[in-house]
């Protein structure tokens, strides 16, 4: 949002660098109008460059899954999985069905683990009693008086009791979530060997031995975790509904035009063959549907169309342009032309230099955009932190129908069986009115339940293979001299793609595009801000503190709602509170 | 009741702003021996009070989070253990730019990790390198890397000594095995409390009790090796040396210990050892899915012995799979019992 013309505003520079309780290196630099309680400008920067696309060139392509896992220290396995998908395409592999179920079970455990630890140990500290006491004492006072509507399920009498249970290290839910994050990581290790960098995934399948034991070990832990998932959904609803009710207008915090991308997750082993020519079909068979939602309308569920629309723009980042470098893939296997700015044709050329937040380069993140040919727009899609886009696309597409999770065309129904303390329960996630901070966070709790429910079904399918005596988990293959591949997956925090080009049996080009470059990108060549920037600009401030003790809590909640994971892609900055333009005497209201 | 610790409070300053993925911090949160929350909440008897400053778990953000680091840099925070995660890039090769940083100088330009290390390392009570990137360079230091990355000891010097006279303590692993790290931290805190002597380290500065044995020596598939019975593809539950496993020559305890609570691991559960704890990682182990060069010789040499032993054991195995023949419901007792009574 631009500075209003015709008015003079007193702007204060505020920055948060490093932003904590995220993965990786992020700085947020803002200009805030405290009189009108609004963030006027926001730039997000990342101050790390490691160079994966550079040092992978010339390496054996089979090593790609092992190497790319190291991009991310919380969802490294999402990279390995995506790399395996891309390699399967390049080598012409159809993985054995049991291997697919093992991948789905491992990835489901990753969503459960990661959403639990991120939501409860990182995000919710922004909603905990200790934090709210520092930023909005008036709100906390009201929370003390507000009964929690679902107290019968989760056991906390008031909203403030829930908030207290999230105080770091001392809070009950905080500590239970840490314990649950361990239980789910054990489930993960049963399928993929190690967390965070898996040991048992290979192109062509897995080395996990498909015994009845691994699946029953997984199932017995899953039942225990499902009990926690059932409490978490209503507990999240209680807090988020309270925020809307207690602070009218809070829906505008972190709100942005609906431009959501989801690249799909959980392959259907009956359908997927990894052939590009069939990608539209097997993409639509995935148990989380790939697609793009713009302004509430589902504009595609076709992975081929999604692939063709990808563009990597340089914008205000520390890289040289690759115009004039080699075109690796002129046409896809279906004959469609591939753009020079597509990841298959990207050449990464780092150009380290000083940071310039006044019109120059300021980030190590490039700007992925999706080209919508009908309108000619380069859309700055975001992932809604992952869950919001996954649920939104899956709900509208109406393609997922299983005994545990089912899409309806406008919602997603989730069924969880009886567990230790709670009976069978059904949840329904309905398309919300906004793509804002609260809805991104709420969706995370619901998707955690989604992954839990799907895992029950995947265990059943794995036991079906056991019953048939089909325990093959690996399909041997030859690496071709020349080949291309692409993999599409959902990292925990959103869209993930890997694009691979093989020449002379070696990697000629490899470009992973994780969610964070999409979400944390700086302004692109067209001046379009990245999603964090866009979501923070124009953000109304509800914090009760003035600039002297300002914590930026509404900004932090917004940035964290995207589940930033900067090794994959970024950098907010609390400067010295320097006043850059002073016209009026300061006047700070008491929040609300 | 234990005596009062010699040092009452210790700050743990943990920076993951090296060339890292934050995977060591995340792995640490899965440790249970001990759990990080038990250390922070003071539930381990005899430890000093621990103040943890870690980006992923911090309550504070931005400058408030950096306050402890800035105080330590000014010499106002003592004692502190500095934990470094991620490889150290070469900031001499990139002009006015930077590869990685944490916070800003007064002029608004980033403070590089290297600048932080230059100031903090001499003031630290102990320095711990967490994960293979920080210990030996790791993935980001592989051939063809643009950033000149290296391990912490390559940067500070292998002869570095902390304020308390400790060398750098290296806990390799990509990522760290969670309990290996927590145990090492526990030792250092006990040492600071005056309850344990100098931590025993090998020539690569690794705790000896954790890295003194090879993967193979702790692997439950090593018995297949002894019998020259090798997996030829990843479907097989047998020894994986012919399909990429480097376990016989890699210092690591993961197959013995598992990944968490004895669950998971590497070759013990079907994942070839790619040498991720080693100074030579990753280049000396690539391509990861091919047989290590030395394994063709060793597997050929063990074949005559192993095949014979396997056959002989097979025969014995058949024998011991049969119950003794006196287990029957016949009319006569044939167990060899000498009756002192007659029916």
Per-residue confidence (pLDDT) for residue A568, from 0 to 100: 55
Per-residue confidence (pLDDT) for residue A314, from 0 to 100: 84
Phi and psi angles of residue A427, each rounded to the nearest 5 degrees, phi first: -120, 150
CA atoms within 13 A on the CB side of B203: 1
**Which residues lie across from A430 on neighbouring strands?**
A411
Q: Does A428 touch chain B (CB under 8 A)?
A: no
Tokens coding A530: 């990245």
> Do A61 and A52 form a contact (C-beta atoms < 8 A)?
no
Q: What is the pTM of this model?
A: 0.95
What pLDDT tens digit does each residue of chain B (343 aa) get? 566 788 899 999 999 999 999 999 999 999 999 999 999 999 999 999 999 999 999 999 999 999 999 999 999 999 999 999 999 999 999 998 889 999 999 998 999 999 999 999 999 999 999 999 999 999 999 999 999 999 999 999 999 999 999 999 999 999 999 999 999 999 999 999 999 999 999 999 999 999 999 999 999 999 999 999 999 999 999 999 999 999 999 999 999 999 999 999 999 999 999 999 999 999 999 999 999 989 999 999 999 999 999 999 999 999 999 999 999 999 999 999 987 766 6
Give per-residue pLDDT as tens, A166-181.
999 999 999 999 999 9
Tokens coding B25: 């911090």
**Angle of CA points A379, A383, A384, to nearest 5°:** 115
Among residues of chain A, what percentage have pLDDT more than 70? 94
State the ipTM, two decimals.
0.96
Distance CA A233, CA A446 (A): 6
Contact residues, A window 79-108, toward B, CB-based 8 Å cutoff: none
H or E element at residue B61: none
Contact residues, B window 178-207, toward A, CB-based 8 Å cutoff: none
Tell me if A63 and B29 make a contact (CB, 8 A cut-off).
no
Tell me if B17 and A25 make a contact (CB, 8 A cut-off).
yes
Tokens coding A154: 């989760």
Residues in chain A with pLDDT values less than 70: 1-7, 47, 567-592
B40 contacts in chain A (CB < 8 Å): 169
Tell me if B175 and A58 make a contact (CB, 8 A cut-off).
no
Per-residue confidence (pLDDT) for residue B342, from 0 to 100: 64
Distance CA B119, CA B132 (A): 23
Q: Does B261 touch chain A (CB under 8 A)?
A: yes
Per-residue confidence (pLDDT) for residue A4, from 0 to 100: 42
Count of other CB atoms within 10 angstroms of residue B256: 15
Buried b (16+ CB within 10 A) or exposed e, B283-303: eebbebbbbbeebeeebeebe
Contact residues, A window 335-394, toward B, CB-based 8 Å cutoff: 350-355, 357
B23 contacts in chain A (CB < 8 Å): 70, 72-74, 76, 196-197
Q: Does A194 touch chain B (CB under 8 A)?
A: yes
| CA A462 vs CA A457, A458, B343: distances in Å | 9, 6, 57
Per-residue confidence (pLDDT) for residue A574, from 0 to 100: 27
Q: Note the maximum CA span of chain A.
A: 78
Tokens coding B233: 């593809």
- Cα of A47 to nearest chain B Cα, Å: 5
B99 contacts in chain A (CB < 8 Å): 48-50, 352
Give per-residue pLDDT as tens, A60-77.
999 999 999 999 999 999
């Amino acid at each position: 949002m631009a500075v209003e013309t015709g008015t003079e505003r007193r702007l204060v520079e505020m920055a948060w660098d490093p932003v904590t309780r995220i993965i990786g290196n992020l700085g947020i630099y803002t200009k805030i109008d405290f009189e009108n309680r609004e963030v006027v400008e926001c730039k997000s920067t990342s101050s790390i460059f490691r160079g994966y696309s550079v040092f992978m060139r010339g390496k054996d392509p089979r090593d790609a899954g092992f190497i790319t896992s190291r991009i991310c220290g919380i969802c490294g396995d999402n990279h390995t999985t995506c790399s395996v998908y891309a390699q399967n395409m390049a080598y012409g592999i159809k993985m054995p069905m049991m291997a697919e179920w093992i991948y789905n079970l491992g990835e489901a455990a990753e969503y459960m683990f990661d959403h639990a630890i991120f939501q409860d140990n990182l995000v919710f500290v922004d909603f905990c009693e200790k934090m709210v006491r520092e930023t909005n004492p008036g709100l906390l006072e009201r929370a003390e008086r507000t009964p929690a509507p679902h107290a019968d399920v989760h056991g906390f009498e008031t909203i403030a009791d829930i908030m207290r249970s999230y105080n770091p290290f001392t809070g009950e839910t905080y500590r239970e979530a840490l314990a649950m994050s361990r239980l789910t990581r054990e489930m993960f290790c049963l399928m993929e060997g190690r967390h965070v960098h898996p040991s048992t995934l290979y192109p062509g399948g897995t080395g996990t031995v498909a015994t009845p034991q691994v699946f029953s070990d997984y199932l017995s832990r899953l039942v225990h975790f499902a009990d926690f998932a059932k409490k978490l959904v209503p507990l999240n609803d209680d807090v988020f509904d309270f925020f809307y009710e207690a602070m009218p207008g809070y829906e505008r915090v972190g709100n942005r035009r609906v431009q959501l991308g989801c690249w799909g997750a959980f392959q259907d082993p009956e359908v997927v063959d990894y052939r590009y020519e069939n990608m539209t079909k097997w993409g639509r068979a995935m148990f989380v549907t790939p697609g793009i939602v713009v302004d509430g309308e589902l504009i595609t569920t076709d992975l081929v169309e999604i692939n063709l629309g990808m563009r990597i723009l340089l914008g205000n980042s520390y890289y040289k342009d690759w115009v004039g470098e080699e075109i690796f893939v002129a046409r896809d296997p279906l004959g469609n032309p591939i753009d020079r700015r597509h990841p298959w044709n990207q050449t990464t050329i780092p150009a380290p230099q000083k940071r310039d937040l006044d019109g120059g380069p300021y980030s190590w993140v490039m700007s992925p955009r999706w080209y919508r040919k009908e309108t000619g727009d380069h859309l700055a899609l975001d992932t809604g932190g992952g869950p919001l886009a996954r649920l939104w696309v899956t709900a509208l597409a109406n393609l997922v129908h299983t005994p545990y999770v089912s899409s309806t065309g406008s919602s997603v129904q989730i069924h969880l069986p009886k567990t230790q303390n709670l009976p069978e329960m059904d949840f329904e996630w309905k398309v919300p009115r906004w793509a804002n901070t609260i809805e991104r966070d709420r969706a995370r709790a619901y998707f955690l339940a989604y992954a839990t429910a799907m895992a029950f079904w995947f265990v059943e399918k794995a036991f079906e293979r056991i019953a048939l005596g089909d325990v093959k988990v690996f399909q041997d293959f030859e690496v071709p001299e020349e080949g291309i591949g692409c993999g599409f997956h959902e990292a925990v925090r959103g869209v993930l793609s890997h694009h691979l080009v093989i020449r002379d049996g070696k990697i000629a080009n490899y470009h992973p595009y994780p969610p964070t470059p999409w979400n944390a990108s700086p302004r692109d060549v067209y001046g379009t801000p990245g999603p964090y920037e866009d979501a923070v600009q124009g953000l109304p401030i509800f914090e009760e503190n003035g600039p002297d003790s300002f914590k930026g809590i509404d900004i932090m909640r917004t940035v964290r709602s995207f589940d930033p994971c900067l090794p994959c892609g970024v950098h907010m900055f609390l400067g010295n509170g320097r006043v850059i333009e002073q016209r009026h005497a300061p006047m700070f209201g008491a929040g609300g | 009741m234990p005596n009062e610790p010699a040092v009452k409070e210790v700050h743990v300053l943990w920076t993951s702003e090296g060339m890292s993925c934050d995977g060591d911090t995340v792995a640490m949160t899965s440790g249970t021996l001990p759990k990080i929350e038990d250390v922070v909440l003071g539930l381990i008897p005899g430890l000093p009070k621990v103040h943890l400053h870690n980006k992923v778990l911090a309550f504070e953000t931005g400058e408030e989070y950096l306050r402890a680091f800035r105080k330590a840099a000014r010499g106002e925070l003592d004692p502190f253990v500095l934990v470094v995660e991620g490889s150290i890039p070469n900031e001499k090769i990139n002009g006015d730019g930077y590869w990685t940083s944490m916070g800003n100088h007064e002029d608004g330009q980033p403070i590089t990790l290297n600048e932080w290390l230059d100031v903090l390392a001499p003031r630290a009570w102990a320095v711990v390198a967490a994960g293979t990137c920080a210990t030996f360079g790791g993935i980001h230091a592989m051939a063809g890397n643009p950033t000149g990355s290296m391990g912490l000891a390559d940067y500070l010097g292998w002869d570095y000594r902390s304020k308390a006279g400790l060398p750098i303590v290296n806990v390799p692993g990509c990522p760290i095995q969670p309990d290996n790290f927590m145990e090492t931290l526990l030792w250092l805190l006990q040492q600071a409390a005056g309850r344990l002597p100098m931590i025993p380290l090998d020539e690569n500065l690794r705790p000896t009790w954790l890295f003194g044995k090879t993967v193979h020596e702790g692997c439950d598939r090593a018995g297949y090796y002894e019998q020259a019975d090798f997996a030829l593809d990843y479907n097989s539950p047998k020894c994986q040396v012919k399909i990429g496993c480097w376990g016989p020559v890699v210092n690591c305890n993961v197959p013995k210990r598992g990944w968490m609570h004895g669950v998971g691991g590497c070759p013990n559960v079907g994942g070839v050892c790619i040498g991720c704890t080693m100074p030579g990682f990753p280049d000396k182990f690539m391509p990861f899915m091919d047989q290590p060069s030395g394994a063709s010789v060793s597997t050929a040499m063990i074949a005559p012995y192993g095949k014979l032993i396997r056959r002989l054991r097979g025969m014995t195995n058949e024998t011991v799979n049969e119950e003794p023949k006196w287990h029957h419901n016949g009319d006569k007792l044939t167990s060899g019992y000498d009756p002192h009574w007659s029916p």
